[in-house]
Every structure is written in structure tokens, then in C-alpha cells.
Amino acid sequence: MRPFLRNFFLYTISVMGLYALVSVLIFSLVETPITSYNAAAVDKKARLLALDSPKIVLVAGSNFAFGIDSELIETQTGYSVVNLGLHAGVGYKFYAEMAKSNLKEGDIVVVGFEYDLYNGLMDIESVLHTLEIDWTLAEDLAPETWATVAAGLPQYTFNRAINTLLGKRLTYEGVYSRASFNVYGDIAVDRPSNIMTNAARDAWVTIDPSLVTNDFKDYFNAYKAYVESKGATLVFTFASLDELNLDPDSDITGFVDQLETLDIPLLHTPQELVYPDEYFYDTHYHLNNAGVALRTQSLIDRLMPYVNP
């Protein structure tokens, strides 16, 4: 049995080494998507590391990217601000882990996830696309996600190689590109009106207690302890949501009851951030100019008790 195990181990290591070599070769040949929307993760991380304390660190998916005026928060609170909000597909743990990178006494971490994220949503292609831009971002992956991400690497690498061989170039223009973000990490493209398609309007969002899984609770119990060990403060808010997309059968009270077991302050109720359709842009989570102004001021008002307490 021992020779078999030894040989199996050596074979496994050899295959993994060969695959790693092939992957490095492929990624050295393909075009790195440095202008993509997800490439903004590099800029957000750089700002986070550069900021002095006290600072406000905004942790969420794209509802924060399309929903916050960080400069206004900075002006009214006197705290430096970085908006880590990007894309729900990379999963909530990626943003939360990134926020740990430069967390110090007096900082405030504001978490406001899309409801789709609570149950652990993570799109492997989106994660690997983000990592390909700068592989050092892999340090922001939670350890429990390493195996899942690694398992998706062969297919992702194959797809990238095939697309390169077929001459498919990566082009990123308009609002969904790296250039659309300002220095704070907010989408800075003018969004004067609602351009949502019927398909986006038909996407129901159900808010109920089942969203707050045991994994979510365990993670944020430990996360809260970490944040407080640094002398920082952790607070929760919610994603802005188009009232036309809220499932009327939602059990919001039960959902909030589950979150309150974490003993993390809630800046809002979910209902307070359910806005009329006129405040949204291209999805039920993304705000237009008027929506950003409304939502940002509400966030500032609720944050003020935590600023220089």
C-alpha cells in the first residue's frame, strides 16, 4: 500500500506541476483584461492600502459601486473613504477579506450586500477573471474558497486559450469598464435616468430568513471579532432595491431577526432602501444620479453616530 500511495502522490504532484507550467504559459500569451470592469479591483485595493486612518471602508457588490458618492461621505464625515463595491459574482468573502488589508483603530467597515450574496453566491469565472488581472489579489480569497476556485481554473484557462486562438479580443467600453470608476471606487459615469430592460424589471428578489445561512453567521461572527480586535467598527446596511422587484411574499422581519443574532449594528431596515423605480439605472440594484444622492445622504446620516464617537 505504501508504494502505491507514494507513486500516487508523485503522479499527482507531477500532473499539478505540469498543469501549472501550462497555465503560466497560456496566461503569458493571452491578453490581460486590464481595462475590464473587474480590473478596478486593483485600483480599489491600492487606495485601501494607501489611506490613513480613520477611514470608512465600503464592502459590497455592484450596488455600492453604482449607489454611493464616496466624496460626499468624505466631505461630511471627515473620514477618508474607499468603495470596494464591484461585482456580486466574486462573492461576499472576497470584499470582506480585502477590507482586512489595512484595517486600523478608528476605521469603520460598512457592509451592504446584495440579497443574492447572502447564500454564498460565487461565480468562478468572475473570480478568475479578476485574479488574472493581478494574481496577488488571490490573497483576498477566503481559505475555504481556495479549492473551489482552483477547481475552476482548468476550464477557465482552456476557454481563455481558445478565445485567443480564435482571435477574440477583449474589449471593455462604456459604464462597465475600469475607466468608469473614480479615485474613490465609485462609478462616475453620468446616469440621469432609468434604462432598465423588461428582463431586469422581471427579476424577483425574495428576502427571507433562509438567506442568512449558518456559513454566513459563522463567517461574520469571526469577522466581527477580527474587526474589533483592530479597534475598528463593523456595521451593516442593505442594498438599494427597486420596489418593482421586491417579492411581495418576502419575510423581511424574519430576515432581520436572523441578522440581529450577529449583534452587528444595522444602519437601516431593508424597507428603508427599497426605492421607487425612478431612482434606478440599469438593474434593480444600480442607482441613477438621483438615487445615488438619496442613498448616500441616508448612509451619511446613519453613520454620523459612529464618526468620532
Instruction: Compute the distance between CA of residue 290 and CA of residue 301 in angstroms, rounded to an integer.
Output: 17
Q: What is the pLDDT of residue 201?
A: 73
Instruction: Considering the domain delimited by 31-306, tell me its CATH architecture.
Output: 3-Layer(aba) Sandwich (3.40)
Phi, psi (5° rounding) for residue 82? -130, 135
> Tens place of pLDDT for every residue, the chain, 309 residues?
455 445 544 544 554 444 444 554 455 455 667 889 999 999 999 999 999 999 999 999 999 999 999 999 999 999 999 999 999 889 999 999 999 999 999 999 999 999 999 988 889 989 988 998 898 999 999 999 989 988 888 888 888 877 777 766 666 778 999 999 999 999 999 999 999 987 677 789 999 999 999 999 999 999 999 999 999 999 999 999 999 999 999 999 999 999 999 999 999 999 999 999 999 999 999 999 999 999 999 999 999 999 986
Helix/strand/coil (H/E/C) assignment for every residue in 296-307: HHHHHHHHHHHC
pTM, full prediction: 0.89
Beta bridge partners of 4: none
Residue 167 zone, left/alpha/beta (φ > 0; ψ -120 to 50; rest)? left
Q: What is the pLDDT of residue 34?
A: 85
Q: What is the pLDDT of residue 10?
A: 52
Neighbours of 77 (CB within 10 A): 19
Q: What is the pLDDT of residue 18?
A: 47
Give the cell for residue 169.
479580443
Q: What is the pLDDT of residue 167?
A: 67
Report residue 54 CA to chain centroid gap. Answer: 22
- Residues 191, 293: contact at Cβ < 8 Å? no
Instruction: Compute the distance between CA of residue 234 and CA of residue 214 in angstroms, rounded to an integer.
Output: 19
